[in-house]
Amino acid sequence: MSLGDRDYIPSETSRLFLYRKDNGEKEFLLLRKSYGEELYETPGGSIESGETPGQCLEREALEELGINIETEKVLDGKIQITPKGNYRVFGYTGKTEDSEFQLSGEHSDYVWASESKIRSMNREGLIIEGLESLIDSLDTSIQEKPD
């Protein structure tokens, strides 16, 4: 018997759903990868040994954006199955006072995208697989907290 894609233990990753409101609509920060298919993704990355998901995200925000963040957990180990691998996703919304980002070599550009823009980008194949469904699964009550 051979193992299928769904039988592998998922990698653990932390993702930052950094958002702002523009004219009352939420826009999420997406970073364009500077390698591979150069798709857009949220900031974040793999959790290293001995690291909590929150510590991972703080490290990744500093590495990828050059910012310090305050986070609030919104996704606690959601399993995401994609053709490229299985992931256990720990998602956080984030707040920062920074308005300028210093992108690392991992990313070439960033955009602020509304949920409708993310759906459009997904249809066009411009974002990593599963991002739209992750944003859809965010706890609405947390997203709607006053700024």
The fold of the 10-140 domain, in CATH, is Nucleoside Triphosphate Pyrophosphohydrolase (3.90.79)
Quote the pLDDT of residue 142.
Answer: 47
- pLDDT tens per residue across span 7-57: 556 688 888 888 888 788 888 899 999 988 899 999 998 889 899 888 988
Domain boundaries, the chain: 10-140
DSSP per-residue letters across the chain: ----GGGSPPEEEEEEEEEEEETTEEEEEEEEESSTT--EE-SEEEPPTT--HHHHHHHHHHHHHS---EEEEEEEEEEEEETTEEEEEEEEEEE-S-------TTEEEEEEEEHHHHHHHHHTT-B-TTHHHHHHTS-HHHHTS--
pLDDT at 143: 47
